[in-house]
Amino acid sequence: MNTRHRHHDSIPADPARRRFLAAGSLTVGFTLLPGATALAAQRSTEDAAPTAASATSTKLPGNLGSTPLLDAWIKIDEQGRITVCTGKAELGTGIRTAFIQIAAEELQVGPEDIHLVTADTGLTPNEGYTAGSHSTADSGTAILNAAAQVRQLLLQSAAGKLGVDVASLQAANGIINAPDGRKMDYGQAVSGLDLHRNAEPTSPLVDPARHRVIGQSMPRVDIPAKVTGGTSYVQDLRPLDMVHARAVRAPSYGARLVSVDSAAIEKMPGVIKVVRDGSYLAVVAHDEWQAIQAMRALAVAAKWEESAVLPAPDALYDTLLKMPAREIHVGERHGAAQPAVRTLQGRFTKPYLAHAAMGPSCAVAHMQQGKLTIWTHAQGVFPLRGGLAEMLGMKPEDIRCIHVPGAGCYGHNAADDAAADAALIARAVPGRPVRVQWMREQEHTWEPFGPAMVTDVKASLDASGHIVDWQYEIWSNSHNQRIDNAGRLIPATFLAQPFTPAPPKPIPMPEGGGDRNSVPLYNFPNFNIQHHFLPDMPVRVSAMRGLGAFMNVFTIESFMDELASAAGADPVEFRLRHLDDPRGRDVVQLASQRFGWDPQRKRQPGRGVGFSFAQYKNLMSYLAIAVELDVTPETGAVRILRVVAAVDCGQIVNPDGVRNQIEGGILQSASWTLYEQVRHDRTGIRSYDWSTYPIMRFSDVPLKVEVHLIDRPGAPFLGAGEASQGPASAALGNAIADATGQRLRNLPLAAGQRLREYAQA
């Protein structure tokens, strides 16, 4: 394995490739007709994660293990056209671009020659969900190795046809060249070649030293349409003869529709049909405004019986601590250590967080001759198909789910629910494509939230300032209520014959759910980690970017600063004192160096600096981050002056794409850390719009963000998409503590009067 470092600060894209992409030659289209042959390309995936770039065992690399046939991933026709398939979905992370680069590198063609199809139950491998920073690790690694093996098969085929030794042939730009000057293109070489064969465990990968495409900053192929008003999102789709629909959501969890007089609504202009099935209520109209007006009239006409009782808002965390728990012992270590001379203890809390997608969830469905096609921004088209089949009583093979990006979301928001709405309504009006668009207040109040959490930590120092004992506890609901069955779809729970959600299950470590990243990477001689998994959920919750890692890293890295202070140590030196992992040390040292971290810096009231570090899941990307900020005493307002991060995500495919993800993660984490919390009362969710659920505004964005990359060519891909969520939160918390002299342990840090009171003190 080549472990040499290559720091990328600015890598220009090839000018010719940039001109090509700007001209739109990689623009892809799709048909909206279910019977059409190919949805000419959807999008790709999420972020990156670990698998060996060169497999040497009998285990197939990446997701080749679950889908071993080469032609499930790579297709080449006799005209030389190359189609690459992935079951992962483009969520705005730029993985579609990265997959094109990976395939182009191993097939020795230009990126413009790759046609990528993503996340389509009719065309692509079943790769489950696009989640957990696994896309490049699992799907990208599969494409890397499948493309390398297909290239070798093409060379072998050409060698037989040309009557030469395969070792004498060279492939470049889709042409196979023989030493005597004869040439053969891929279309000729593939003629008579059967790619419908299982992959091999080992692959003839291109030497990283010869990479021309991998490791270069290629402009993202999904951006041009987004910035020019093109068809980019599922919200943009407008198939021929499409009608519009709106669902009427219940006023609270568990409400039952007692009665509704729909006669007047059915006579409203443009209304095609009112759909009712038990407590499920929706309306279909010719245009969108007519559907909205009819939905509002239906909501007024509907009479509901409510039964939901939520925890008192000011007793939320006490409620979590008292709920029945399934005890999970995450891990422990018992080693020799010096006697403890000082012990610190702290409790940290995190509220419910909303995905709060900029574009409310949407789907388009078309029921035709007993076959259903759905265009959706769900992150798992195959699991969604299973849930819809159960809900509708259909065979899965009669349903096709096609991913089209949605306007903003990382995690499990209401995309699957909107698809269920569209499916139910399309069944009621067969033959017409039905577009369902959720309203803003529906998105905010009915989506699955990121769970509220409580963490307790107690740690002891010895006389030399080393941590000798670490005790950690977590109280958290499930972080994964994705579509295991029809009952996980909100519309299915309101039908006359309702479906019951599958019971919540914890996610085993090291991936973890609420306990993700709960085991510190530091060399503590003694530790004990306990997860109090809470099966009962006061509000609807599910996966949100980073899962429990956001809160656990916030707690661990905040407490590391508290312990450093108690030990009289510099926070960076204190971390290095407890960190043996060489790659972890590399990012800590690079971030502190590029930030200009000064261990002798004197504290300035109102101005603070903070540092943080983690390896995502302790098995993916390493990230260290330093922050400088101001806190205004009169208002408690936080102004982030600069952020410097260093990341090691293994072999880098697209440096600019990695920076996109780290920068975006820092901003999103800052918004969660400083401002965001879902508010509720005893009957329902009260964060229904942007005024009741404030997020970071442009005026709050850091004045400067730097991301420094450590590239390791030939090393496994590591996921970058969620690496910054936890470290960014803790660095902010540590900087605020430095600025105010007070430690805040309850998120969000800048909510209400709390920070102003501390700043003034």
* Cβ pair 588, 613 in contact under 8 A: yes
Q: Where do we find the tokens 């709106």?
A: 246
Distance between alpha carbon 140 and the CA centroid of its chain, in Å?
Answer: 16
Residues 6+ away with beta carbon under 8 Å from 227: none
Residue 51 is predicted with a pLDDT of 35
- pLDDT higher than 80, residue 13: no
Q: Give the relative orientation of helices 95-107 and 141-162 as an angle to the nearest 10 degrees.
A: 30
**How many secondary structure helices (H) and strands (E) does the chain include?**
17, 25
Query: Which residues are CB-contacts of 759 (< 8 A; sequence separation ≥ 6)?
Result: 606, 631, 632, 633, 636, 739, 740
Task: Compute CA distances 466 → 134, 378, 523, whole Å.
Answer: 35, 47, 10
Asked if pLDDT for residue 55 goes beyond 70, the answer is no
Per-residue model confidence (pLDDT) at position 724: 96
Going by pLDDT thresholds of 50, 70 and 90, the confidence category of residue 368 is very high
Q: Identify the residue whose tokens are 């293109």.
A: 185
Confidence of residue 307 (pLDDT cuts 50, 70, 90): confident
Quick check: 37 pLDDT over 60? no
Percent of the chain at pLDDT exceeding 70: 91
Flag whether pLDDT at 15 surpasses 80.
no
**Rounded-to-integer distance, Cα 162 and Cα 164, Å:** 6
Q: CB count, 10 Å around CB of 761?
A: 9
C-alpha distances in Å from residue 308, one per residue of 36, 302, 528, 538, 683: 46, 18, 37, 9, 6
Mean pLDDT of the chain: 91
pLDDT at 10: 31
Please state the pTM of the whole predicted model.
0.90
Q: What secondary structure letter does DSSP report for 53?
A: S
